[in-house]
């Protein structure tokens, strides 16, 4: 008997499963409602209405909207990290490495549209707590990209700080590209091609400079 109850507690019961579904529905409803508005102008009642539960049920899942916002930051950065992992794993054609990288970005912007939109929208704009959380995650994200870059021979003698500088530049360009793709009007899908071409050129330009770089604050011994 004791065993059975322990197992029931360990594996998810019907109640737990259902709660988890509502939780996910709240996150998705919030992202979905951000089509035409920012997170800060989203109301608790709107979100619960979209999910189909009563406003007070919200408090079974989050203390307030701020906490929901933080959950969205976590979920959205999971998508970004997955993108980075794709870029690492997929075979990179030496010839078209820039094109291929930008295409991975474009693909994730489409499949994880709501997550990208959330980060782009709330990165500078929204409520303080969410903005801080995004800023923190973004710093980690830049570091992860820097770690990837440093493996390439061109960066082998670079200082950590300078690699981060390049990574930050690329991440900024990447987000501007993501925003541009998100903004392509439905009636002009061909606009995306131009955006991708521009992003590819920007990436190519930045990495073209790398072999010629000489830091103004060279590492000790240089």
191-209 and 97-111 helices cross at what angle (nearest 10)? 130
Whether the CB-CB separation of 143 and 164 falls below 8 Å is answered with yes
Binding status of residue 103 toward DNA by CB under 7 A: no
Binding status of residue 46 toward DNA by CB under 7 A: yes
Applying CB under 7 A, the site for DNA has a residue count of 28
Range 184-203, binding a second copy (CB under 8 A): 197-198, 201-202
Binding status of residue 129 toward a second copy by CB under 8 A: no
* Burial zone of 39 (CB within 10 Å; 0-12 exposed, 13-18 middle, 19+ buried): buried
DSSP assignment, residue 197?
Answer: H
Binding status of residue 165 toward a second copy by CB under 8 A: yes
Binding status of residue 43 toward a second copy by CB under 8 A: no
Cα–Cα distance between 123 and 138 in angstroms, integer? Answer: 9
Cα–Cα distance between 104 and 80 in angstroms, integer? Answer: 11
Binding status of residue 44 toward DNA by CB under 7 A: yes
Q: How far is the CB of 119 from a second copy (least distance, A)?
A: 10
Residues that bind a second copy (CB under 8 A): 36-38, 40-41, 120-128, 135, 162, 165-166, 168-169, 172-173, 176, 179, 183, 197-198, 201-202, 204-206, 208-210, 212-213, 215-217
């Amino acid at each position: 008997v004791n065993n059975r109850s322990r197992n029931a507690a360990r594996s998810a019961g019907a109640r737990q499963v259902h709660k988890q579904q509502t939780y996910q529905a709240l996150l998705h409803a919030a992202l979905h409602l951000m089509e035409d508005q920012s997170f800060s102008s989203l109301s608790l009642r709107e979100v619960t209405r979209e999910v189909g539960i009563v406003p007070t049920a919200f408090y079974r899942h989050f203390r307030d909207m701020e906490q929901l916002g933080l959950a969205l930051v976590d979920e959205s950065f999971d998508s970004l990290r997955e993108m980075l992992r794709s870029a690492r794993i997929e075979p990179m054609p030496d010839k078209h490495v820039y094109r291929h990288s930008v295409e991975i970005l474009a693909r994730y912007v489409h499949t994880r549209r709501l997550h990208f939109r959330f980060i782009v929208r709330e990165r500078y704009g929204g409520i303080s707590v969410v903005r801080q959380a995004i800023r923190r995650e973004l710093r980690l994200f830049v570091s992860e990209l820097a770690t990837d870059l440093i493996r390439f021979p061109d960066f082998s003698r670079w200082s950590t700080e300078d690699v981060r500088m390049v990574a930050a530049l690329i991440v900024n360009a990447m987000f501007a590209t993501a925003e541009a793709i998100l903004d392509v009007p439905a009636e002009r899908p061909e606009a995306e091609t131009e955006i991708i071409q521009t992003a590819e050129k920007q990436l190519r330009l930045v990495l073209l400079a790398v072999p010629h770089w000489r830091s103004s604050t060279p590492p000790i011994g240089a």
